[in-house]
Amino acid sequence: MSENNQKLEGFEGPGFLATSLDKAVGMARKNSIWPLPFATSCCGIEFMATMASTYDFGRFGAERLSFSPRQADLLMVMGTISKKMGPVLRQVYEQMAEPKWVIAVGACASTGGIFDTYSVLQGIDRIIPVDVYVPGCPPRPEQIIDGVLKIQELVQNESLRRRNSPEYQELLASYGIE
């Protein structure tokens, strides 16, 4: 399997594993992501399929959808974000507690897709930082799951200090987020 299921590095014996705090926390976070589905349009229906019995999203430790931004770790933006919706999305992002990750599902969320029109935001990365993009119009459930696995990889390998780093602060500042 991929590096996603990589074994944790550390000192292992019968019944225990000694490793650095970073890695232990990363592993715990990775397997208990609470996603906030921000489903606006077509991709939301594909997400429904991902949630349902055939694809069973719950297998990846994300059984519990957090509809409240306060308790969510992963913002899944699925579908077209219009300019009218933009401020709402940004507010939801700002309400989420750190650490937080964002996945842009589908062409519309990533770039605006086929809707190159006056009313559609041309990609959500114009208002909030995005970690993983999933292409497709709409992407298949397999692709959505693949995107979430990519997020899991990021989560596992993220340094505990990243959110305090000047680079991260700079990134947020570039979006005008305090």
Q: Least distance in Å: CB of 53 to other proteins? A: 5
Specify the DSSP element, H or E, that contains 104: strand 101-105
Residues 6+ apart with CB under 8 A from 116: 122
Handedness of CA 12, 13, 17, 18 (dihedral sign): negative
Restricting to residues 51-110, name those near other proteins by CB under 8 A.
52-54, 65, 67-68, 79-85, 88, 92
Of 84 and 162, CB closest to other proteins: 84
Q: Is 39 helix (H, G, I), strand (E, B) or coil?
A: strand
Count of residues that interact with other proteins, criterion CB under 8 A:
36
Rounded distance between C-alpha atoms, residue 45 and residue 149, angstroms: 20
Q: Least distance in Å: CB of 6 to other proteins? A: 31
Of 17 and 39, CB closest to other proteins: 39
- Measured CA to CA in angstroms, residue 161 lies from 11, 72, 145, 156 at distances of 23, 20, 27, 13
Of 50 and 156, CB closest to other proteins: 50
Binder among 7, 118, 166, 167 for other proteins (CB under 8 A): 118
| Residue 81 φ/ψ, nearest 5 degrees | -110, 115
Q: Least distance in Å: CB of 105 to other proteins? A: 13
Dihedral angle, C-alpha 37, 43, 45, 49, nearest 10 °: -80
Of 6 and 68, CB closest to other proteins: 68
Q: Least distance in Å: CB of 95 to other proteins? A: 11
Q: Which two tokens stand for residue 70?
A: 């306060």
- Rule CB under 8 A: is residue 119 a binding residue for other proteins? yes
Binder among 19, 32, 122, 157 for other proteins (CB under 8 A): 122
Given the rule CB under 8 A, which residues bind other proteins?
38-42, 44-46, 48-49, 52-54, 65, 67-68, 79-85, 88, 92, 114-120, 122, 137-138, 140
